[in-house]
């Protein structure tokens, strides 16, 4: 039997295509940790790279993140600004800028802050605590959260490439703890520790459905 000839195009790597769900912009404060996490989530949940754009901003402070997102949001259905409270001086200004913008008022562009930093979200995968994370000596609140996370992921550093897969077995716990912490903070008025990352994660998990 003659062997079927394959055309040249069949050997090429199939390009990502736009799928029939939201196009989403995720602008991150960090250049490594947060993009690695969301890229891992995107791959795990089979979300198209055409639909999901994950990018650091031109600057790492909250205002730079919001300004960058406001410039880019036009072509997207929804956007998220992921940034830390930590010790940023313009954190409140960034929230106000987003709140008073047209995309912010319409719900098209949403802030996803963490108090004091992204690492609160991984920590919630392993334990629940309302204890404030404070500066200790030369360590900022963010550095203290990173230090605490190494109790559960000893190899963790900023830029950890496998962070999503390391947390995936504990994701249901992380989502439950984050929701509980949000309710507790609402009742008490506390912010630190706190995060809204679970809201973005849940949105992405449901996106294809």
DSSP letter string, 30-43: SSSHHHHHHHHHHH
Q: What pLDDT was estimated at residue 87?
A: 83
Q: What pLDDT was estimated at residue 104?
A: 98
Report the C-alpha gap between 183 and 31 in whole angstroms.
30
pLDDT greater at residue 172 or residue 59: 172
Mean pLDDT score of the chain: 91
**Inter-helix orientation angle 33-44/197-206, to 10°:** 30
* Those residues with Cβ within 8 angstroms of residue 156's Cβ, 6 or more apart along the chain or in another chain: 122, 146, 149, 150, 163, 166
Average pLDDT over residues 10-33: 78
Per-residue pLDDT at 3 exceeds 60? no
pLDDT tier at 15 (50, 70, 90 boundaries)?
low
Average pLDDT over residues 55-76: 93
Report the C-alpha gap between 204 and 148 in whole angstroms.
27
Q: What pLDDT was estimated at residue 36?
A: 95
Per-residue pLDDT at 13 exceeds 60? no
Average pLDDT over residues 51-65: 91
Q: What pLDDT was estimated at residue 8?
A: 34
Per-residue pLDDT at 199 exceeds 90? yes
- Which CATH code for domain 21-206? 3.40.50
pLDDT tier at 159 (50, 70, 90 boundaries)?
confident
Least confident of 105-109, 160-164, 177-181, 194-198: 160-164
| pLDDT (tens digit per residue) in 92-111 | 999 999 999 999 999 999 99
Per-residue pLDDT at 7 exceeds 60? no
φ, ψ of residue 131 to 5 degrees: the values are -70, 130
Per-residue pLDDT at 160 exceeds 60? yes
Per-residue pLDDT at 57 exceeds 90? no
| pLDDT (tens digit per residue) in 118-151 | 999 999 999 999 999 999 998 899 999 999 999 9
Question: 178-183 long-range CB contacts below 8 Å, 24 or more apart?
Answer: 178/121, 178/124, 180/128, 181/124, 181/128, 181/130
**Inter-helix orientation angle 91-100/62-72, to 10°:** 20
Strand 194-195's sheet: what is its strand order? 52-56, 24-28, 78-84, 109-115, 194-195
Average pLDDT over residues 48-68: 93
> Which H or E element spans position 203?
helix 197-206
């Amino acid at each position: 039997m003659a062997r079927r000839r394959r055309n040249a195009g069949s050997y090429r790597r199939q390009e990502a295509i736009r799928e029939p769900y939201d196009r989403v912009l995720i602008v991150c404060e960090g250049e490594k940790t947060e993009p690695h996490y969301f890229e891992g989530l995107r791959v795990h949940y089979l979300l198209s790279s055409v639909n999901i754009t994950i990018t650091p901003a031109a600057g790492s402070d909250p205002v730079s993140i919001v300004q960058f997102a406001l410039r880019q949001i036009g072509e997207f259905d929804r956007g998220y600004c992921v940034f830390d409270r930590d010790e940023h001086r313009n954190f409140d200004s960034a929230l106000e800028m987003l709140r008073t913008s047209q995309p912010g008022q319409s719900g098209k562009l949403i802030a996803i802050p963490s108090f004091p930093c992204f690492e609160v979200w991984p920590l919630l995968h392993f334990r629940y605590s309302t204890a404030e994370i404070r500066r200790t000596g030369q360590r900022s609140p963010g550095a203290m959260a990173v230090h605490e996370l190494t109790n559960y992921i000893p190899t963790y550093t900023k830029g950890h490439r496998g962070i999503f897969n390391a947390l995936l077995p504990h994701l249901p716990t992380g989502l439950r703890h984050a929701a509980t912490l949000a309710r507790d903070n609402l009742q008490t008025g506390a912010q630190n520790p706190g995060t809204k990352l679970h809201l973005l994660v849940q949105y992405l998990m449901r996106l294809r459905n």
